[in-house]
Amino acid sequence: MPESLIDCADLLRGRLRNQRGLDLEEYTMTLGWIFGYWQGALPYTYVCAVSGVDPETLQDVILNNARLKADLNEVRRMCCGSLL
């Protein structure tokens, strides 16, 4: 697994464990990258394709965890806005 995906998994684990010192800006950018809100140097789907990892793996982890999903919803509001 490429280092970028391992770093993503580490950030998600840190958030789940409420790790002190977690870089929230990097974590927010990572959530946005995983869901395609921004591409970064290389798109998430490309990194997954090259490494043979199903791109839905980390997405499923995020969507099936209440804390991570709430964070994703906040990222979505920040980058896409809200009609409310």
Residue ranges per domain, the chain? 3-80
pTM of the model: 0.87
Given a cut of 90, whether residue 81 has pLDDT beyond it is no
Confidence of residue 59 (pLDDT cuts 50, 70, 90): very high
Please state the rounded mean pLDDT for residues 34-43: 87
pLDDT for residue 83 is more than 70: no
Between CA 52 and CA 76 the distance in angstroms is: 27
Concatenate the DSSP letters of all residues of 30-73 into one string. HHHHHTTS---SS-HHHHHHHHT--THHHHHHHHTSHHHHHHHH
* Alpha carbon 55 to its chain's center: 11
Q: Which two tokens stand for residue 64?
A: 């099936």
Q: Rounded distance, CA 8 to CA 49, Å? A: 16
Nearest-angstrom CA–CA distance, 74 and 53: 26
The pLDDT assigned to 71 comes to: 97
Work out the average pLDDT over 29-48.
Answer: 90
Q: Give the pLDDT of residue 34.
A: 95
